[in-house]
Homo-oligomer: A and B are copies of this chain.
Amino acid sequence: MRNTIAANELELKGKAARKAARKLATISADIKNTALHNVADGLKAREEEILAANEQDIANGRRRGLEEYFLDRLLLTPERLQALAHDVRGIAALPDPIGEMLDMRNMPNGLKVGKRRVPLGVIGAIYESRPNVTIDISSLCLKSGNAIILRGGSDAINSNTALATLVKDAIAGAGIPEDAVQVMETTDRAVVGQMLRAKGIIDLLIPRGSQALINRVASEATIPAITGGVGVCHTYVDRQADMDMALDIVNNAKVSRPSVCNALDTVIVHSASAQSFLPALAKRWEAIGVEMRCDTRALSMLGPSAATRAVQVTEEDWQTEHLSLTAGVRVVDSLDEALDHIEMYGSGHSEAIVTEDYAAAMRFLDEVDAGAVFVNASTRFNDGGQFGLGAEVAISTDKMHARGPMGLKELTSYKWTALGSGHIRE
């Protein structure tokens, strides 16, 4: 019964979104940018209304005993709305990806062949408690000419509805069909299952949220979906490495923002460097409060005072995305051992080597299979902004379609166009 309601809602909204997508695909950049500025303006003009809706969600959440960190994710403030508006104007300022011609060429028979960048069509977004995703994803989809079906968490339903209404009004004000933005009202979990199998309705699914959600999408979805956002990331300090550079890079990768997916989880150190590197690292991390989870050899090299604070690493630690001030520490005797460790435990997200050795740098670049591979730089640079993409939808750990940071172009497909003058095939 519940399944039927969700399926019906999805089908109806999917049809409306598909129709709007056909229009949206050929709308000019000027109109899309006007709509985006309308969204940004609306975040200011409707501030009171949005915050009131958000207060309801917060009050409901408190009543249901949600934890503080969860309520913080749910919370909207005037400052947060202002930051959102700023990001939306940033998306408006980016070049329009749609219509770009790729690989245009004249074939020997005179047929003019090329690939034209086009929107994917209808994007589905499944997210949890953060209502800002409603604005964020809608804006990126709008700019890339895609319609969107939003399915946010039930805890944020009032906030999401207010924000989605704002977006619908903003795009309608620019002459874009408001059906381009659809909100699933059934907050039942059955909706997620329907969306995962919505062949012909949703062209690409973007899950944003917990690892449990990402895993569910990866294992159940029969439509294209992005897997991403989970990074078990390593930095390998080679035999020949500048010790100061290595300290700075390893420290930056771990502590500059421990809660994100491109932060360091395990540092791997060549035994020839470990004797000098590990005590220095332990000293630096003592001040910051990073817990070092060491293998036996690493423990023996930390020096007596650091060794008392460090703990023995477990097999589970190697597999864990810590998202906190915790790091695995392993000593190896060769680059090969480091590569094997990364292959075994890495999630294909962000991997770095610190080395002065040209051949080691080349091998690491060649052999590590990950979305982003770094030489003498922090894994924290695996980010759409840092790689010059402007906005970022997600960081993909898939190999199909898009890998690493996904910007506007990664929300597009292409169609071949062929211009002839009566061409027929022999």
Contact = CB atoms under 8 A, between A and B. Distances in A.
Contacts of A375: 417-420
B107 A387 contact: yes
Interface residues of A, number: 70
Interface in A187-227: 199, 203-204, 218-222, 224
A105 interface: yes
Nearest to A387: B113
Interface in A367-407: 367-378, 380-382, 386-388, 398-401, 403-405
Nearest to A227: B199
Contact of A113 (B219, B388, B421): B388
A376 B242 CA distance: 63
B252 A425 contact: yes
Contact of A415 (B401, B404, B417, B426): B404
Given A372-B415, A388-B107, A242 B399 contact: no
Interface in A243-279: 245, 248-249, 251-252, 256
Contacts of A204: 399-400
A135 to B, nearest CB: 25
A25 interface: yes
A218 B242 contact: no
A118 interface: yes
Nearest to A257: B425
A413 interface: yes
Contacts of A115: 404
A15 B204 CA distance: 29
A203 B348 CA distance: 13
Contact of A422 (B249, B399, B420): B249
B400 A366 contact: no
A400 B400 contact: yes
Interface string A136-177: 000000000000000000000000000000000000000000
Interface string A357-373: 00000000111111111
Given A404-B416, A424-B256, A121 B369 contact: yes
In this complex, the member of A220, A371, A386, A426 whose beta carbon has the largest number of chain B beta carbons within 10 angstroms is A386
Contacts of A334: none
B107 A386 contact: yes
Interface of A: 22, 25-26, 105, 107, 111, 113, 115-116, 118, 120-121, 199, 203-204, 218-222, 224, 242, 245, 248-249, 251-252, 256, 343, 365-378, 380-382, 386-388, 398-401, 403-405, 413-426
Listed from nearest, the 3 A-B pairs whose CB atoms lie closest are A377-B420, A252-B424, A399-B413
B105 A388 contact: yes
A126 to B, nearest CB: 16
A376 B365 CA distance: 47
Copies per complex of this chain? 2
Pick from A222, A245, A251, A426 the residue with the most CB of B within 10 Å: A222
A424 B401 CA distance: 29
17 contacts: A25-B367, A111-B377, A118-B369, A120-B400, A199-B219, A204-B399, A219-B222, A221-B222, A242-B422, A251-B424, A373-B415, A373-B417, A373-B418, A378-B423, A382-B416, A401-B401, A404-B416
Given A111-B386, A373-B417, 10 more contacts: A116-B365, A120-B400, A199-B218, A199-B219, A221-B222, A249-B422, A373-B418, A374-B417, A375-B419, A378-B424
Contacts of A220: 222
B416 A371 contact: yes
A415 B245 contact: no
A216 to B, nearest CB: 11
A203, A365, A405, A423 — most chain B CB neighbours (10 Å): A423
